[in-house]
Amino acid sequence: MKVVMIGASGFVGTRLIDLLKTDNNYELKNVDLLSSHFFNDVTVIGDVRKQEDMDKELSGADVVVLLAAQHRDDVSPVSLYYDTNVGGMEVTLKAMEKNGVRRLIFFSSVAVYGLNKENPSEDHPKDPFNHYGKSKWQAEQVLQEWHSSHSDWNINIIRPTVIFGERNRGNVYNLLSQISSGRFLMVGKGTNKKSMAYVGNVVAFVKFLIEEKKSGYNVYNYIDKPDFDMNELIALVEKVLNKHIPSIHFPYWMGMMGGYCFDILAKILGRKLAISSVRVKKFCATTEFDSSKMQSTGFQPPYTLSEGLSRTLEFEFLHPRKDDITFKSE
């Protein structure tokens, strides 16, 4: 089976290639604007926004996995979110049709639901609060409209929560790093739940979809359960690293004021800082999502959430590194 991945030179894509390479049943290709740190043997340079690139590179594919996206909080101009995340979907669908490919796995996001929603399932009303979430929802709408006239296609959409794991440099890593340093400032009471997804489980779910979900239009939230609250997360870090983690609690309003101050400072300095009002808002938000539909598929994650966090903590903070390769995300 030939699997063409678009945008798989990043964090999730690298782990997906690594997993699929262990199975001789797959012929793999990665189409990306960037070369791969580990898998240039299956990587070609191509732009998801360019029709001629996708028309050429999707030739012979049995399944397409669309990972390419603009996802960071600070993308400028904001039109890049829509050019890549929405325009890239339109280009990909046309290229698939031209090449006779009828199976697509698309990485969307729980960002389509918005902030502080109460355990939304896949059918929950969409209320994205940032350009990333808005562009992902628009891409899904393009896909919905396309499927209405291509009902024989197999479409699987994954809406993962925040994905973490070894080598990732995003919000979860930043949080774990701050906690492990012992210089952690807790905004709020620490009882807000944080849904997370370990990258090893996410890519295993993709492989499951390739092999088991070969028909229909399916949408799945992906979350590793049970959710941790911030206090439980601190306790796990303490256990894995075998150290006491002191934490100081600040009220929410004070945390947001600090975030706004850092926003102003970042604008003055002309560079992104580790603290911002958006990150404070995300940190304090309850981010629980319903994953019962995913769980009903029969998929068995290879790792528990605790195991995924422990593997990440041990890799990043306990064991000597052989290289400094990392992947930046939010």
3-class DSSP string for the chain: CEEEEECCCCHHHHHHHHHHCCCCCCEEEEEECCCCCCCHHHEEECCCCCHHHHHHHCCCCCEEEECCCCCCCCCCCCHHHHHHHCHHHHHHHHHHHHHCCCEEEEECCHHHHCCCCCCCCCCCCCCCCCHHHHHHHHHHHHHHHHHHCCCCCEEEEEEECCEECCCEECHHHHHHHHHHHCCEEEECCCCCEEEEEEHHHHHHHHHHHHHHCCCCEEEEEECEEEEEEHHHHHHHHHHHHCCCCCEEEECHHHHHHHHHHHHHHHHHHCCCCCCCHHHHHHHHCCECCCCHHHHCCCCCCCCCHHHHHHHHHHHHHHCCCCCCCCEECC
Q: Is 173 a catalytic residue?
A: no
Choose the catalytic residue: 132, 173, 220, 222: 132
* CA distances to 32, 43, 49, 314 from 54, in Å: 10, 14, 8, 39
Q: Just list the catalytic residues.
A: 132
